[in-house]
Structure 1
């Protein structure tokens, strides 16, 4: 199922939802670039996200994140992984809605916890109760993620390729996003 991407696909969801892995597989299958907004911020700042949070605080990070997302949306169509908190910003949601399409990679708490519990690269989980923090973040963010244009639910047995296929199938129903190629 191939098609030409007409606008940027922005993957949103919790840390551990698979935005980077699924986004990379999806971009490869669609023949478009994959871009991670967090990586772009790290490159621009020349420091890790944890260092930015520590030195400049979360509000500064969120401001830079919004600038990077707007810049990427204005560029060529791609698959964009937005940081877990990026979609919380009404300005980011409006920009994504105007220039791209949002896809919520929805995964349950147990799946997310299994994926993030051994990583120390998540500044929001650097506290005495990381699972409780993840659960609270999920409760706060899920109603906002539900505003995404499309929702693709992760299943425990899904591979990265299964999720990429599910996202592609959801996008195929949107002619404003994916122009089907006519093969004679």
Structure 2
């Protein structure tokens, strides 16, 4: 595979469970970029899990904190950034990330995401009676935001992480970054 000349960040957005962190790590290794998981970065700053922070302070307080952290992370370069699933709820996050990044939406169907998350109890927004219906409802709200924020959309259904990474690299060859 020929080397892609880049300097901007590569920002992965998408619903929780879409593989942003795992894909981001593999992609960063492959193109010799740094890697930042925004959720892990936030947890290291607040010294607690995001789930616990949600419980203690609520989603609004978390989104404010997330915006501050994203504005810092967006200043990096040559970095693959995996974002939290709700990052698109705040337009300032997208503006900050686009200032020095190409945004890639890892798009998965509700059923695919459900299969990945059905036993996951660490996602505060999915601790509901019917996880699949919650995923469908949240995706209905967020999909237009993911799509309008993205420069590239990659379908992840029934693809391995390596296949997703190859798809990203192929699509990026056509983008001036």
Q: TM-score range by the shorter chain?
A: over 0.9
Gaps of 5+ in 1: 178-184
Per-residue Cα deviation, 1:55-112 (whole angstroms, up to 9, x for no partner): 1111111111111111111023200011000022111111122221110001111110
Report the counterpart of residue 122 of structure 2 in structure 1.
Answer: 121
RMSD: 1.1
Alpha-carbon separation, structure 2, partners of 1:144 and 1:40: 23
Q: TM-score, normalised by structure 1?
A: 0.91
Report the 3-state secondary structure (helix = DSSP H, G, I; strand = E; otherwise coil) of the residue aligned with 2:44.
Answer: helix
Alpha-carbon separation, structure 1, partners of 2:141 and 2:39: 21
Alignment of 1:67-146 (within 5 A): 67-146=68-147
Is the CA contact (8 Å cut-off) linking 1:102 and 1:150 kept in structure 2? yes
Report the 3-state secondary structure (helix = DSSP H, G, I; strand = E; otherwise coil) of the residue aligned with 1:3.
Answer: coil
Displacement of 1:141 in angstroms is 0.4
Report the 3-state secondary structure (helix = DSSP H, G, I; strand = E; otherwise coil) of the residue aligned with 1:35.
Answer: strand
Q: Are 2:6 and 1:5 aligned? A: yes
Displacement of 1:155 in angstroms is 3.2
Report the counterpart of residue 162 of structure 1 in structure 2.
Answer: 163
Report the counterpart of residue 39 of structure 1 in structure 2.
Answer: 40
Displacement of 1:126 in angstroms is 1.0
Is the CA contact (8 Å cut-off) linking 2:13 and 2:84 kept in structure 1? yes
Structure 1 residues 97 and 76 mapped into 2: Cα distance closer, same or farther (>3 Å)?
closer
Displacement of 1:3 in angstroms is 2.4
Alpha-carbon separation, structure 2, partners of 1:76 and 1:150: 19
Per-residue Cα deviation, 1:151-176 (whole angstroms, up to 9, x for no partner): 111131x110000010111111112x
Report the counterpart of residue 151 of structure 1 in structure 2.
Answer: 153
Is the CA contact (8 Å cut-off) linking 1:4 and 1:30 kept in structure 2? no
Alignment of 1:20-39 (within 5 A): 20-39=21-40
Displacement of 1:132 in angstroms is 1.1
Is the CA contact (8 Å cut-off) linking 2:7 and 2:77 kept in structure 1? no
Gaps of 5+ in 2: none
Alpha-carbon separation, structure 1, partners of 2:3 and 2:109: 30
Q: TM-score, normalised by structure 2?
A: 0.95
Report the counterpart of residue 182 of structure 1 in structure 2.
Answer: none
Displacement of 1:5 in angstroms is 2.5
